[in-house]
Amino acid sequence: MKAHFELLAGYNQSMNEQLYHAASMLDAEQLGEDRGAFFGSVSGTLNHLLVGDIIWLKRFAEHPVGFASLEPVLTFPSPAALSEILFSDFTELHRVRMVLDTIIQSFALEAREEDYAVALAYNNTKGKAFVKPFGFLVQHLFNHQTHHRGQISTLLSQSGVDPGVTDLLMLIPDAD
């Protein structure tokens, strides 16, 4: 799992940077235009990804092992809703995205294989308690990112902006 999550952390960071670059081709009105996606707009979906990552990383920071790399996320305000617009300013949204991606990279490097087998107890946003295998929750973090980046890629394409190649395959190293 460790090598897999390290690869996904790099993919996550690379694809976020690529999508933010593509999204920067749109003006503020185009970024905020409701295009019928689940979170409405490019900006709404980018904000949702930030919200989701903050929520999950704060949960991961409570892991019994304790990850020093996740301590900075504890200083972030807790989002009030999954659809919350944390940053309407695209530049600030991008800046915070880069900070979180660096934290995710550091976390993937810090976590040990055996850490992923330890269960994590957490409450969802409605207060319901869960205990789940940590490795599967980390996989969800990356899958959630990929899912919504796919929506953003579609929204960008519909706006006439080419998001570029987004396949994980491009980052998978060749076998020795």
pLDDT of residue 175: 87
Residue 115 — pLDDT band, cuts 50, 70, 90?
very high
Contact criterion met (CB below 8 Å) for 24 and 90: yes
162's tokens:
């080419």
pLDDT of residue 169: 80
91's tokens:
């530049």
List, for residues 131-144, the tens digit of each pLDDT value.
Answer: 999 999 999 999 99
Q: What is the 3-state secondary structure (H, E, C) of 131-150?
A: EEEHHHHHHHHHHHHHHHHH
- pLDDT exceeds cutoff 90 at 168: no
Coil, helix or strand for 130? strand
Contact criterion met (CB below 8 Å) for 100 and 53: yes
List, for residues 14-71, the tens digit of each pLDDT value.
Answer: 999 999 999 999 999 999 999 989 999 999 999 999 999 999 999 999 999 999 999 9
pLDDT of residue 172: 83
For the chain, what are the domain ranges?
Answer: 2-171
The model carries a pTM of 0.94
3-state helix, strand, coil in the chain (%, to 5): 60, 5, 30
CATH number for the region 2-171 comes to: 1.20.120.450
- pLDDT exceeds cutoff 90 at 105: yes
Beta-ladder partners of 122: 130
